[in-house]
């Protein structure tokens, strides 16, 4: 199965370098100088990595035959893919390993199944179809998804009240704190909706790789 390593973003500079939106926790192993990487669409590749570097937290790559900004811009949106069967990274899973898993609460109550995984800058989201057909997005972080048992065919949720459609009437809303406005916003105007801050504890590698 072809899984995504990265998606090519905007051109960087004038000499054909591009920024990558990576989908792997181990880019050093995937983005190796001299390696040829398949693409989606397939006719855009394979692309051979000529240079690679990390700049301000972002991976920048130059591909063989791409020597100016115009050529680099034409590559924007191309996906870099590899063949892989299962993730060998600890506490990380490929989307195809998660699709179809049974979704349970900690008491064993079945709430649905996993439809897929969506990638956001802060953290990944499990896409779940609940037993009543509702489609729900669940932050894929340890505090909310404490168990991922691929061999057992299940994931276990410990959701805050109201996260699941079946539990909407129990939606948890954070109480205003001292120094906050009565409308639930902080003094700086930022929303305080009680959403768990889980960006530092992602469960998936986000690779699709």
All structural domains of the chain with their residue ranges: 2-83, 93-209
| DSSP state string for the chain | -EEEEEEEEEEETTTTEEEEEE--S-HHHHS-TT-EEEEESGGG--EEEEEEEEETTEEEEEETT--SHHHHHHTTTPEEEEE-SS--STT---HHHHTT-EEEETTS-EEEEEEEEEE-SS-EEEEEEETTS-EEEEE-BTTT--EEETTTTEEEE-PPTTSSGGGGGG---PPPPTTS-TTSB-TT--B-------TTSBSS-----
What does the pLDDT profile of the chain (209 residues) look like in tens digits?
567 788 899 999 999 999 998 877 678 888 899 999 999 898 998 999 999 999 888 899 999 999 999 999 999 999 998 876 555 554 557 677 788 999 999 999 999 999 988 876 667 888 999 999 999 999 988 889 999 888 889 999 998 888 888 877 665 555 555 554 444 444 444 444 444 444 444 555 544 44
CATH topology of domain 2-83: Elongation Factor Tu (Ef-tu); domain 3 (2.40.30)
pLDDT for position 111: 93
> Beta strand 17-22 with 36-40: parallel, antiparallel or unpaired?
unpaired
Report which of 152, 150, 171 is spatially closest to residue 162, judged by C-alpha positions.
171
For residues 22, 27, 32, 35, the Cα torsion angle rounded to the nearest 10 degrees is -50
pLDDT for position 170: 60
For the four alpha carbons of 191, 172, 116 and 91, in that order, the dihedral sign comes to positive
pLDDT for position 197: 45
* Lateral strand order in the sheet of 154-157: 135-139, 124-130, 110-119, 102-105, 154-157, 147-149
For the four alpha carbons of 181, 184, 189 and 192, in that order, the dihedral sign comes to positive
Query: pTM of this prediction?
Result: 0.48
Structure tokens at 186: 């902080």
Q: What angle do CA 116, 207, 101 make, to 5 degrees?
A: 30
Pick the CATH number of 93-209 from 2.120.10.30, 3.90.1150.10, 2.30.30.240, 3.10.20.600: 2.30.30.240
pLDDT for position 81: 85
């Amino acid at each position: 199965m072809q899984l995504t390593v990265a998606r090519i973003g905007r051109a960087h500079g004038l000499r054909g370098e591009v920024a990558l939106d990576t989908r792997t926790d181990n880019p050093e192993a995937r983005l190796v100088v001299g390696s040829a990487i398949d693409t989606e669409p397939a006719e855009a590749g394979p692309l051979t990595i000529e240079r690679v570097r990390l700049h301000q937290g972002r991976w920048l790559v130059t591909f063989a035959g791409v020597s100016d900004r115009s050529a680099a811009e034409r590559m924007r949106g191309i996906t870099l893919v590899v063949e892989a069967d299962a993730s060998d990274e600890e506490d990380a899973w490929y989307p195809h390993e998660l699709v179809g898993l049974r979704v349970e609460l900690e008491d064993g109550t079945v709430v649905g199944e996993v439809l897929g995984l969506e990638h956001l800058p802060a953290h990944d989201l499990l896409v779940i179809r609940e037993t009543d057909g509702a489609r729900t997005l669940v932050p894929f972080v340890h505090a909310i998804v404490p168990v991922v048992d691929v061999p057992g065919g299940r994931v276990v949720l410990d959701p805050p009240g109201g996260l699941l459609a079946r539990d909407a009437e129990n939606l948890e809303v954070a109480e205003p704190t001292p120094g906050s406005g009565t409308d639930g916003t902080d003094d700086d105007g930022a929303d305080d909706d009680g959403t768990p801050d889980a960006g530092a504890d992602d469960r998936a590698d986000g690779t699709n790789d």
